[in-house]
Structure 1
Amino acid sequence: MARCEAHVLGEYLPILLFLFVSTVIGVALLVLGWLLGPQRPESEKLSPYECGFEAFEDARMQFDVRYYLVAILFIIFDLEIAFLFPWAVVFRDIGMTAIVSMAVFLGILVIGFVYEWKKGALEWE
């Protein structure tokens, strides 16, 4: 019985060794970056970035819904491209059902795009 347990542990040894080495390398790189990196924050580094409001204020403050609309717009076009490329590769082999399903998918995306347009997310002040 002990020989069987040793055999099983021997099979997991490369995995455990890999996890140990990767953890040591990751921690070492983080520590080196913290020790050797510059420790002088500048006003540009502490300023809001792409969110439009101060990051360290009250969490219940009001802000414009256009930030969410821009995120939705990004997801719409990101999903469209992610699904269109594989579909275009096998276009000749998939038949009429896939063409109709892609038309429905693109129609739903167009509805989302029109919603964004009507809400004014594309008009930035």
Structure 2
Amino acid sequence: MKQILASLQAYYRLRVCQEAVWEAYRIFLDRIPDPGEYQNWVSICQQETFCLFDIGKNFSNSQEHLDLLQQRIKQRHFPERKDEISTEKTLGAPGETPVFSPEKNKGKVKSPIILQLGDNHRQY
């Protein structure tokens, strides 16, 4: 009985660590981990001295995460550059449905337009 309980607890720890590490990459680094780095973090997580919140702190304080934040902050402070089209001018006010004239697109190949708004993706 003790062996079964120990096995189930080890499996539970492994699954929780796998999920925690995967989510840390997604949330803090906005990417999928390489297999080697993923396995290293899962192994670290499985050590009893390492807490799940420590994983979040490590990812949050990593240089990769800080660089990503800096990049996103710069993009928000300078949302409209001369070589970019403002989505407000193109789509109108938030919540409005964009209207595309079929006459302007006559004879062109129709493909969906995908707009990325923060973490939300919409297809038109």
Q: Sort the TM-score into its range (normalised by shorter chain).
A: 0.3 to 0.5
Structure with the higher strand share, 1 or 2: 2
Higher RCO (CA < 8 A, seq sep 6+): 1
Structure with the higher helix share, 1 or 2: 1
Report the structure number with the largest CA radius of gyration.
Answer: 1
The two structures have a TM-score, normalised by structure 2, of 0.36
